[in-house]
Amino acid sequence: MAEKTVKLKIKRQTGPNTESHWDEFEIPWKPGMNVISAMMDIAANPVTKDGKQTTPIAYDSNCLEEICGSCAMLINGKAKMACSALVDHFEQPITVEPLSKFPIVRDLAVDRSVLFENLKKVKAWVPVDGTYDLGSGPRITPQQQEQSYPLSNCISCTICMEVCPQFNEGTGFVGAATISQVALFNDHPTGAVLKEERLHALMGDGGIHECGFAQNCVESCPKEIPLTRSISRVAGQVMIQSIKDIFSS
Amino acid sequence: MANPKIIVVGGGLAGLSAVIKIAEAGGDVDLFSIVPVKRSHSVCAQGGINAAKNLKGEGDTTAQHLDDTVYGGDFLGNQTPIKEMCDAAPAIIDLLDRMGVPFNRTPEGLLDFRRFGGTLYHRTAFAGATTGQQLLYALDEQVRRYESEGRVTKYEHWEFLSAVLDSNRVCRGICAMNLRTMEVRTFECDALIVATGGIGAIFGKSTNSVVCTGSAQSALYQQGAYYANGEFIQVHPTSIPGEDKLRLMSESARGEGGRVWVPKQKHDKRDPRTIPDSDRFYFLEEWYPKYGNLVPRDVATRAIHKIVYENDLGIDGQPMVYLDLTHIDRHTLDRKLEGILEIYEKFVGDDPRVHPMKIFPGMHYTMGGLWIDFNQATSIPGVFAAGECEYQYHGANRLGANSLVSCIFGGFVAGPEAVKYAKGLQKSPAGSNGHFDAEKKRQEEINSRLISSDGTENPFRLWRELGDTMTRNVTVLRYNKSLQETDTKIVELLERFRKINLSDKGAWANTSFIFSRQLYNMLQLARVITQGAARRDESRGAHYKPDFPERDDAKFLKTTKAYFAPDADEPRFEWEAVDTSIIKPRPRRYDMAK
Ligand SMILES: Cc1cc2nc3c(=O)[nH]c(=O)nc-3n(C[C@H](O)[C@H](O)[C@H](O)COP(=O)(O)OP(=O)(O)OC[C@H]3O[C@@H](n4cnc5c(N)ncnc54)[C@H](O)[C@@H]3O)c2cc1C
Ligand code: SF4
Ligand code: FES
């Protein structure tokens, strides 16, 4: 009997400004195999299905347990984390493509630094006075903790941005992940001191009003973060803030 | 003098902690990291972080924390710096709490604590089962704040290749490579802090992240830095076996009541849920009644090995045992362990709330690392180290949840020490900047040799061979004969490395080229680990030789210090006395109270 195999069809591109092409691979199946481990096996023997020598595939990965957020890509057309995409769960040949809304570095590696820039814009941090010993932090009820912990689980994978119809060059929309971080830090007793600045950052172009409530984000988030709830809460805060702004100007 | 200019390499907990302290003290920092710092390996830490806050009315003290750490490390750790760390830990937790880490809470709104291995106290603060992620994010956010103020410049997707040393072997900068453009460049600094994390990749499969290769530590060792206690490698008792990686099942699973067992009957084929208690062998609880499932990791790992390989009691004859949480109620599990249960569910496909998990030991952590003094300074002037890449805080075996605190503490010491050093630094004599060009040239030559080499060896296959040999011979059980064979094997691999054929000769984001450079450094460091193990004819903490089963303080209560002999292209060794100024060494036993 022929050995069980896995077929993959991978979209490749040697650099940001070169043409893309597809390479097909057929490699021995292993139990528990995921898309990243399949590509590791390809690296150890970089030969296509037709026996052509090729180069190992370039992609981002680090933790291999869906916590570092590195390995988002399109797998059979859907944005997924490749390290937790077990090949047995996908129809073959499995097509693998880079995320479509970010500049390509090479093959499946893309540049997603825009998210980190957005986090700067909304001051996604708690402004502590200093690192010297000032005693314990504010008391926080278990209920509050259970509300903020899930928001704090965002792995910056940018899948919510990839799947959002509003996230494009035209709108400059910041995307769900950033808005959800605003919700997180506005909730924090100390973080709230920057609430006004965060809300202002979400007002103009690319701000929260760009959201069209397509809900793709919440359906695709690998960490199941309640993104639409965060967006409605922050939208409410922005509204109140703009009213306040009118009266204080 | 102008603001001191510090380079920090590595943006895990240790590196970010150092950056924050330097920025706060008014220094300017260039921060280098292979991956965006928010994706550093620290994000994987699950179970928690230790500090004797004594919020459970148990009478815990920092002195107890010190004793547990020193005892758990089988007395190989230097006690003065460990004491400083344990004393600083409660304030570190407070600071993290102020930074917004969503730690689990008690009903009164205080921090909750869980139990971890090697202690009888509830000393581990935690944020669900993703503590490392939450801590890393908190520090990352503070660094982003400094970045937006212009104090910190990040160089992400840059790899440190080497230090730039002047004619007096003093560090004046670094040489690094852009992982996209492949540009090799030098950067000046007054002091350098390396915080480059673990070395799991040397063992092929481990619980570590992909970039934990130890390449930076190895490069510095080859440039003259001492590497200490390399032979002390922690094999975690409970990992999920996998083809690409050994995913960790955190000790917190046992901290929350998880029990380890095997069927009493060999090769019992029944569904574990139908096996009654009377037919189960809870071997850790039986052998170690006082600590039970929470014995230190080296002890638990050897026990599992014994059950599987000596007693042939592995599940269905396989190298696996059960880790069982099914007796704990679902709500508690979700509140305290959800993150790790999800990992098991996602990668194995069974729900651990319903099915006992199947686990086996896996390479996890290096106690050894760059040698540093009590101020985090390595033996190269101007180079400091913090975090898992240095050796200071864990002796012969690290206790669970002590690493995160040692990383942050180490960073908090290294940062200000580097600033202090930089302020007192004499400038290089004028016109003597040739060492920058020389180092750049040296690195470019390594690159062109590698790119143009046209042999037959595939670097990824060489790596698998290295990993297999190291895992087989240099983890749980060590025999001098197989250690010798391993060293011979590594020399062979170094030889074959020269015949590498890179199928990818591209000059843009060439990942196999980058990996091959790291592989060379892994091979060099693997020899330090292996030869260090061969030299230590005793058993202590994680280092276990069946032919020398006892600890031998007379001969080996000493730190192993390796240095590189460039002409011979191999490590040389020295011993250094251990600081035992606070607690007198005593036998380490976990079958009874200390
Ligand atoms: C699965 C798992 C769970 C764990 N759970 C716990 C726990 O619950 N409690 C606990 O105390 N400990 C735990 N540990 C151990 C702990 O997570 C690590 O020891 C710790 O996070 C190491 O932090 P670090 O800052 O030293 O390095 P890392 O977080 O590994 O960071 C290293 C940094 O260095 C960079 N880098 C590396 N090489 C280079 C180079 N050549 N050039 C440029 N940059 C480079 C990387 O990009 C990264 O930013 C766990 C470990 C694992 C594997
Ligand atoms: S919110 Fe979810 S989808 Fe968006 S970046 Fe965070 S983890 Fe990814
Ligand atoms: S490799 Fe970290 S999320 Fe996939």
State the CATH number of the domain containing residue A90.
3.10.20.30
C-beta neighbour count of B84 within 10 angstroms:
16
Query: What positions of B carry a catalytic annotation?
Result: 297
Whether residues A120 and A182 fall in one domain: yes
Q: Whose CA is nearest to atom 3 of ligand 3?
A: A66
Q: Check if A83 has its Cβ closer than 6 Å to any atom of ligand 3.
A: yes
pLDDT (tens digit, 9 = 90+) per residue, A186-212?
Answer: 999 999 999 999 999 999 899 999 999
Establish if B460 touches chain A: CB-CB under 8 angstroms.
yes
Q: For the domain that residue A138 is a member of, what is the CATH number? A: 1.10.1060.10
To test the pocket of ligand 2, the residue of A68, A114, A156 to mutate (highest count of ligand atoms within 8 Å of its CB) is A156
List, as ranges, residues 317-336 from B with C-beta within 8 Å of A: 335
- Look at ligand 1, atom 30, and give the residue with the nearest C-alpha: B197
Q: Are B514 and B504 in contact (CB under 8 A)?
A: no
CA dist B268 and B274 (Å) reads: 11
**In chain A, whose CA is at the least distance from the CA of B412?**
A131
* A/B interface, count of CB pairs below 8 Å: 193
> Does one domain contain both A221 and A166?
yes
Whole-number Å distance between alpha carbons of B16 and B38: 10
Strand order in the sheet with B558-565: B369-370, B227-228, B558-565, B570-577
Residue B124 has, within 13 A of its CA and on its CB side, a CA count of 32
Q: Give yes or no: residues A106 and A130 share one domain.
A: no
Instruction: Give the domain-ending residue among A94, A110, A126.
Output: A110
Q: Does domain B1-232+367-594 correspond to CATH entry 3.50.50.60?
A: yes
User: Is the model's pTM score more than 0.95?
Assistant: yes
- Helices B480-497 and B459-473: crossing angle, nearest 10°? 170
> Both A105 and A124 in a single domain?
no
In the numeric block, the tokens 């330097």 are attached to B22
Report whether residue A86 contacts ligand 3, using a CB cutoff of 6 Å: no
pLDDT value at position B1? 56
| pLDDT reported for residue B51 | 98
**Interatomic CA distance for residues A235 and A211, integer angstroms:** 10
A75 with A12, same domain?
Answer: yes
Smallest Cβ–Cβ distance between B503 and the set A37, A53, A69 belongs to A53
Amino acid at B417: E
Residue A118 shares a structural domain with residue A94: no
Are A234 and A242 contacting, i.e. CB atoms less than 8 angstroms apart?
no
Q: Which residues of B touch A116 (CB under 8 A)?
A: 36, 38, 144
Q: CB within 8 A of B274, min separation 6: which ones?
A: none
Closest Cα in chain A, distance from residue B147 (Å) = 9
Q: Classify the complex by whether its ipTM is higher than 0.95, answering yes or no.
A: yes
Distance, CA of A115 to CA of A157 (rounded, Å): 9
B242 min Cα distance to partner chain A (Å): 7
CA distance A194 to A185: 8
Q: Is there a single domain that holds both residue A69 and residue A25?
A: yes
CATH number of B241-361: 3.90.700.10, 3.40.50.150, 3.40.30.10, 3.40.50.300? Answer: 3.90.700.10
- On whether any CB of chain A is under 8 Å from the CB of B583, the answer is no
Question: Which of A62, A94, A110 is at the close of a domain?
Answer: A110
**pLDDT given for residue B433 in this prediction:** 81
- Residue of B38, B87, B93, B146 to mutate for A, most A C-beta atoms under 10 A: B38
| Residues in Cβ contact with B591 at an 8 Å cutoff, skipping those fewer than 6 apart | B287, B288, B289, B290
**Tens digits of residue pLDDT in B170-194:** 999 999 999 999 999 999 999 999 9
- A45 and A70 share one domain: yes
CA distances from A172 to A118, A204, A206, A238 (A): 11, 10, 4, 18
Say whether residue B146 is in contact with chain A using an 8 A CB cutoff.
no
Ligand nearest to the CA of A231: 2
Q: What is the pLDDT of residue B428?
A: 74
> B147–A120: do the CB atoms touch at under 8 Å?
yes
Q: How many residues does chain A have?
A: 249
Q: Could you say which of A80, A110, A140 is where a domain stops? A: A110
Look at residue B590 in the predicted model and tell me its pLDDT: 87
**What is the predicted pLDDT for the residue at B227?**
98
For A35, the domain range is 5-110
* Fold agreement (B1-232+367-594, B241-361): no
Running along chain A, 249 residues long, what does each successive block of 10 average in pLDDT?
Answer: 88 96 97 95 95 96 97 98 96 98 97 97 97 95 96 98 96 97 98 98 95 96 97 97 91
d(CA B122, CA B108): 17
Spans of all domains in chain B: 1-232+367-594, 241-361
pLDDT at B430: 64
Could you count the other beta carbons within 10 Å of the beta carbon of residue B430? 6
**Successive 10-residue mean pLDDT values, chain B, 594 residues:** 89 98 96 98 96 96 98 98 98 98 97 92 95 98 97 98 96 97 96 98 97 98 98 97 91 94 94 96 96 93 94 93 96 90 92 96 97 98 98 97 98 98 84 88 96 91 96 96 98 97 90 96 98 98 97 98 97 98 95 76
Q: How many domains does chain A have?
A: 2
Give the pLDDT score at B431. 64
Q: Are residues A105 and A120 both part of a single domain? A: no
Question: How far is C-alpha B544 from the geometric centre of its chain's CA atoms?
Answer: 19
